[in-house]
Amino acid sequence: MARIHLHLLSDSTGETLEMIAKAALAQFDDSEVLRHFWPMVRSQQHLDRIMGEIAANPGLVFFTLVNEETRGRLEERCHTLGLPALAVLDNVTDALEAHLGQEAKGRPGRQHRLDDAYFARVDAIQFTIAHDDGIAWEDWEDSDIILAGVSRTSKTPTSIYLANRGYKVANIPIVVESPPPQALFGLRRPMVVGLTTAPERLIQVRRNRLLSLSQSPDTDYVQAEKVESEVKYARRMFADNSWPVIDVTRRSIEETAAAIINLYNERKASGIKGPVGPKPI
């Protein structure tokens, strides 16, 4: 198995750099990558301290540094050590400069400045946390997206991920014995998305959850016939209300969120609104 050190240096939070590295590494199997993350690198003194660690653990160096002196020093030191250093956004920035006919503004962390979009994202996160697991359903009309699904279909983590992208999200568990509020079936503004999964996979996830809580796995919560009935009940509700459905069986949280965002954008572009009247089960 190949084993390498990967150093990620950013002049901001490094979120973008981490996502790029993660996406690239997903293309390679049978490799052990030791990631070293260095955010907020905005001075040569800070860089010099980091270079000691890089020299002790030589490997690949990916960076997003806009300060010419800092990045120049990094490239020089890496060249001396015989290490490849790649500015991962340079090609994208160069292409945009050429097509837009203007020079990029080299301000560290520019994409993370405290603008209206930042505060909108904070507002979305606060809203989403306050509307988890069916709480405060009276405010659902203020949501952008509502996720519905049986227990352990990744509703909460997907909601939080979407909130970090700026969407106000509420989620509601679909329980046979306790139907959702009637308000869910008459919403106009939010897009309701049904999350489902294969019963076998759901049983496995639920069983692991019970074991992690030191609870007995011998309950209806993981009983095959019971779980299959739950999934069918939820699917019937989704179909009766014409809600889009996403099967999360083999999807990561990021993949599920990306599919939801695509649905949301398509709905927004078409001007489609929610159902006029309820179709509860």
Least confident span in 107-116, 131-140, 236-245, 252-261: 107-116
150 is in an annotated binding site: yes
pLDDT in the model for residue 81? 92
- If one compares 143 and 3, the residue with the highest pLDDT of the two is 143
235 is in an annotated binding site: no
- If one compares 193 and 220, the residue with the highest pLDDT of the two is 193
Average pLDDT of the residues in 152-164: 93
For residue range 67-91, list pLDDT tens digits in order.
889 999 999 999 999 999 999 988 8
Map 64-82 to HEC letters.
ECCCHHHHHHHHHHHHHHC
- If one compares 92 and 112, the residue with the highest pLDDT of the two is 92
156 is in an annotated binding site: yes
- The share of the chain scoring above pLDDT 70, in percent, equals 91
70 is in an annotated binding site: no
Judge if pTM exceeds 0.85.
Answer: no
Q: What CATH number is given for 2-111 in this structure?
A: 3.40.50
Q: What CATH number is given for 116-270 in this structure?
A: 3.40.50
Average pLDDT over all residues of the chain: 89
Average pLDDT of the residues in 31-35: 87
- The share of the chain scoring above pLDDT 90, in percent, equals 64
Range(s) within the chain of domains with CATH label 3.40.50? 2-111, 116-270
pLDDT in the model for residue 270? 85
pLDDT in the model for residue 115? 58
273 is in an annotated binding site: no
- If one compares 108 and 130, the residue with the highest pLDDT of the two is 130
C-beta of residue 180 within 8 angstroms of C-beta of residue 134? yes
Q: Which of 10-14, 263-267, 276-280 has the highest mean pLDDT?
A: 263-267
Query: Is a pLDDT exceeding 60 seen at residue 110?
Result: no
Q: Which residues of 202-234 are buried (b: 16+ CB within 10 A; e: fewer)?
A: bbebbbeebeeeeeeeeeebbeeeebeebbebb
22 is in an annotated binding site: no
